[in-house]
Structure 1
Amino acid sequence: MTDWLDTTFELRLGPPGHGGFCVGRHEGRVVFVRHGLPGELVRARVTEDRGGSFCRADAIEILEPSPDRVPPTCPVSGPGGAGCCDFSFATPVAQRALKATVVAEQLRRIARLEREITVEPIAGYPADATGGWRTRIRLAVDARGRAGVHRLRSTEVITDLRCPQPVSGALDGVAERLWTPGAELVIAVDGDGVRHIVELAVPVSAGGRAGQRRGSDRPGADRRGKGRREGERPSGSNAPRDGERRNAAARRAAVHATREESVLEGSGRTVEYVAGRRWDISATGFWQAHHGAAQCYSDIVAEWSGVGFGDLAWDLYSGAGVFAARLADQVGPDGAVLAVESARPAVADGTVALRDLPWVDLRADRVERWLAEQGSATPDVVVLDPPRTGAGKEVAAAIGAHNAGRIIHIGCDPAAFARDLSLYQAAGFRLAELRAFDAFPATHHVECLALLER
């Protein structure tokens, strides 16, 4: 088959696909086209062709625009740019409709669920806004010491920090300073409005040299391991050679290794609030990126849990215990909340925040191992917010074997979310409620919450 790399052609775009593109067809092949909207006639340039039935392309010219198209709000993410704002050229209403279409299709195809999906703005966030929501940002630093974001599917750093996602003031002065070449910056604006900047030391590769980070294509990973494209090759390359595979593996190992942290502004300890409770957590630890997300999801967990005094609740992948705190208020001192999280610093922070709730047991462990040690316990509700890849067969099977009364499942990847729902259905659960939130405006990402009952 002829390599189409850098070839341009016209095509009519079809529905959105999972990943921030629309699907088109050209000469019998599927083309995944970024920067276009359904129904548009575009001139597309192929950016990646590995052979096979599909290739990737950018819409470099809009010949027949959609009525949903607006001037892009992000100057960094256009063709050849960063992957931060996939849909900044669409109206907020159209963005949410695109995400709803993707979620519905994943549920239909993977979980055999027919659902009409409405993607809602996060409570308290303006429905017509797409910027000013991100409180946690992770930036790369190039060889000259300038901070920036990675070009989509590339290790190259774009030193343009005009993406509209961060909250006001988050990036003030960052572009004007020089940082340690090859390091990373974590910037967090906490619940008190205080900015913290932490520099992560240059990762060291397996060969002992400073390794290049291959990180998120957005201005910061938004969840535990979510949104990171570790090991992907630069746009326009063909099949990976053995050396590229080894380099990618070394980069992945370097990124996930423990790295020295230097606090350059603030204390490095962020203060956050949910339902009147205060958390004091590391700026480099996990917290929801959208300033209203933690409260929003916590309120839904409290609404759906169905637990009362004396009940048993499990909180899996519990982070610093935001959901555990709400469940503890519901089950009271005669009940119990058992929470498990693999990140020990998060568990330590949660233990301090929940020290007035002795009926909460927050453990540092792998969820799979912890579940295997629970004997014949039967929880009234299981809440889980797994990484982007989902809970998977082992965890879903264990929850089913413990005869949980209810499951509240939270996920930011529609495909993984649908796979997990299909596993719960196989274990005898049925979907009772489902809500989807635009927790990452202007991007293709969406947060889904499901209530499952037996």
Structure 2
Amino acid sequence: MTQPDPTNPRLAAGDTATVTITRPCHGGGGIGELPDGRVVMVADALPGDVAEVRVTRSKKSFALAEIVSLTPSDIRVPQRCPAAAAGAGCCDFGHVDPDAAPELKKDVVTDQLRRIGRLDVGKTPPAGGITVATAKPYQGWRTRVRLGVDDEGRAGLRAAKSNRIITSRCAQTVPGLTDGIIGDDAARFTPGMEVVAVIDGLGRRHVVEVPRPGRGKRATASKATVIEGTGEVTETLGELAWRLPATAFWQAHTAAPGLLAEAISRLTAEGLRVVDPTLTDDRSAGWDLYGGAGVFAPALGEALEEAVGEDVTVYSVEASAAAAASGRQALADIPVTFVTGDVAAAVAQLPAPLGVVCDPPRTGAGEKAIAACAAAAPPVVVHLGCDAATFARDTGSWMAHGYRLHRLEIIDTFPGTHHVESIGLFVRN
């Protein structure tokens, strides 16, 4: 780390300086160094930008800043999203050359692994390698959106770090998703509420109005007022179909469920090929943790059955009773048993697994759940994370409990944004 420069005055909020951006920042933006030697995180900046920045927050060891003017990086392009150009917090990578975005996201994930997970994959790469892929299409992929409603009843995306409503169209959404909902001639809604719009796997649009949930919470179907459609969506993966409330979780990118299910199946099979075979004896169960409606349970089960040549029961553990109920209905003809409850408590009651899929929410699984899972000594774990920092933290926990990262796959299922899906194949030492 660069030490503060005593020959340069310490910059305070409101001061300006010229900064060269050297690397991407987790959560978006770029990182450089102020003349006083401190690290500065600059909103909307990209590696290669040379920017005049204004300090917005000054701390002892770092500062936050905004761009005043810049000489743009070679990877900077005009913002593709009208809503983001107007200030919405949607497409915060809309000004990144799509060809450069995968490497930026890889840099963020590997940096978080080094800083938080204490794993430097640059110096000690996983034996199975690191791969990066991008879901297609790059634009027009989002099948569901949650919108705010302003005091005049207009629906739109919220401005970045603000409750201000932006009524311009977002480039992420699939065609038709927000027609008549966003724009000058759009319908009006109840001020202070939220509007959830979904185009489901059958191509039908559903629009519901819901009270705004607390931070980090999901709107509930019981409080939804149906504006269009039935409020119950049908989502498909292969020949399977799930019926869910419009407010329920489903992967937003049209291609994401298939891409992630394929990765889970392939990585599980790879893990079982490389792990010590004595660790797989007398095991014929799989665990699908934080399984939601069990979307990934069939992929896990098929991979395990192919490996051992016998029937395997997958136990899908999910805190939401409603999600588990949807899964039971969709997977009635597949050997999947749904368990409703807290993961750390539930796994202690389950048969020892041959393989585990762990797909926690953005907050990650955490030490308690990982310790409980590791106590059963599954030979293979496929861990998914949609937040680079919590994925890195969870990686550190798996390693502390006797696992090594054999392969890292980074799949951009959120193109045009800073978000990314990280998938780690962990095998027991």
Same fold (TM over 0.5): yes
Superimposed CA distance per residue, residues 127-167 of structure 1 (whole angstroms, 9 cap, x where no aligned partner): xx3x211111111111111112222222x222323220111
* Aligned with 2:159 (options 148, 151, 155): 151
Q: Residues 394-433 of structure 1: matches in 2 within 5 Å? A: 394-433=368-407
Q: Is the 8 A contact 2:19 2:32 kept in 1?
A: yes
Q: Is the 8 A contact 2:45 2:67 kept in 1?
A: yes
After alignment, is 109-118 or 416-425 more displaced? 109-118
Relative to structure 1, is the Cα distance of residues 94 and 13 closer, same or farther in structure 2, using a 3 angstrom cutoff?
same
Alpha-carbon distance in structure 1 between the residues aligned to 2:112 and 2:426: 18
Alpha-carbon distance in structure 2 between the residues aligned to 1:439 and 1:144: 34
Q: Aligned-pair distance for 1:194?
A: 1.0
* Aligned with 1:38 (options 34, 47, 58): 47
* Structure-2 residue corresponding to 1:318: 291
Relative to structure 1, is the Cα distance of residues 8 and 147 closer, same or farther in structure 2, using a 3 angstrom cutoff?
farther
Q: Aligned-pair distance for 1:37?
A: 1.5
Query: Which residue identity lines up with residue 20 of structure 1 in the other structure?
Result: G
Q: Is the 8 A contact 1:196 1:266 kept in 2?
A: yes
Q: Residues 352-371 of structure 1: matches in 2 within 5 Å? A: 352-357=329-334, 359-371=335-347
Alpha-carbon distance in structure 1 between the residues aligned to 2:363 and 2:386: 9
Q: Aligned-pair distance for 1:446?
A: 0.7
* Structure-1 residue corresponding to 2:4: none
Q: Is the 8 A contact 2:219 2:247 kept in 1?
A: no
Q: Is the 8 A contact 2:29 2:45 kept in 1?
A: yes
* Aligned with 1:85 (options 86, 91, 108): 91
1:276 aligns with 2:236: no
* Structure-1 residue corresponding to 2:277: none
Q: Is the 8 A contact 1:17 1:23 kept in 2?
A: yes
Alpha-carbon distance in structure 2 between the residues aligned to 1:41 and 1:202: 40
Alpha-carbon distance in structure 2 between the residues aligned to 1:83 and 1:349: 32
Q: Aligned-pair distance for 1:6?
A: 4.5
After alignment, is 428-437 or 27-36 more displaced? 27-36
Relative to structure 1, is the Cα distance of residues 364 and 290 closer, same or farther in structure 2, using a 3 angstrom cutoff?
same
- Equivalent residue pairs, number: 395
Relative to structure 1, is the Cα distance of residues 153 and 168 closer, same or farther in structure 2, using a 3 angstrom cutoff?
same
After alignment, is 49-58 or 293-302 more displaced? 49-58
Q: TM-score, normalised by structure 2?
A: 0.86
* Structure-2 residue corresponding to 1:350: 327
Q: Is the 8 A contact 2:208 2:228 kept in 1?
A: yes
Q: Aligned-pair distance for 1:393?
A: 0.8
* Structure-1 residue corresponding to 2:180: 173
* Aligned with 1:183 (options 181, 193, 200): 193
Q: Residues 331-346 of structure 1: matches in 2 within 5 Å? A: 334-346=311-323
Alpha-carbon distance in structure 1 between the residues aligned to 2:12 and 2:158: 24
Query: Which residue identity lines up with residue 254 of structure 2 in the other structure?
Result: H
Relative to structure 1, is the Cα distance of residues 335 and 82 closer, same or farther in structure 2, using a 3 angstrom cutoff?
same
* Structure-2 residue corresponding to 1:228: none
SS of structure 2 residue aligned to 1:313? strand
Q: TM-score, normalised by structure 1?
A: 0.81
* Aligned with 2:67 (options 35, 49, 59): 59
Query: Which residue identity lines up with residue 343 of structure 1 in the other structure?
Result: S
Q: Is the 8 A contact 2:283 2:354 kept in 1?
A: no
Question: Where do 5+ consecutive residues of structure 1 fail to align?
Answer: 204-212, 216-224, 226-251
Q: Is the 8 A contact 1:270 1:282 kept in 2?
A: yes
Q: Is the 8 A contact 1:3 1:49 kept in 2?
A: no
SS of structure 2 residue aligned to 1:327? helix
Q: Is the 8 A contact 1:70 1:89 kept in 2?
A: yes
* Structure-2 residue corresponding to 1:229: none
Q: Residues 109-148 of structure 1: matches in 2 within 5 Å? A: 109-111=115-117, 112-114=119-121, 115=125, 117-122=130-135, 125-126=136-137, 129=138, 131-148=139-156
Alpha-carbon distance in structure 1 between the residues aligned to 2:164 and 2:101: 27
Alpha-carbon distance in structure 2 between the residues aligned to 1:159 and 1:104: 34
1:29 aligns with 2:3: no
Relative to structure 1, is the Cα distance of residues 181 and 190 closer, same or farther in structure 2, using a 3 angstrom cutoff?
same
* Structure-1 residue corresponding to 2:254: 291
Q: Aligned-pair distance for 1:433?
A: 1.6
* Structure-2 residue corresponding to 1:301: 264
Alpha-carbon distance in structure 2 between the residues aligned to 1:369 and 1:197: 37
Alpha-carbon distance in structure 2 between the residues aligned to 1:177 and 1:295: 34
* Structure-2 residue corresponding to 1:163: 170
Supply the RMSD in Å over aligned alpha carbons: 2.5
Alpha-carbon distance in structure 1 between the residues aligned to 2:148 and 2:191: 9
Query: Which residue identity lines up with residue 446 of structure 1 in the other structure?
Result: V
1:74 aligns with 2:47: no
After alignment, is 308-317 or 346-355 more displaced? 308-317
Alpha-carbon distance in structure 1 between the residues aligned to 2:229 and 2:172: 21
Q: Is the 8 A contact 1:390 1:420 kept in 2?
A: yes
Relative to structure 1, is the Cα distance of residues 404 and 146 closer, same or farther in structure 2, using a 3 angstrom cutoff?
same
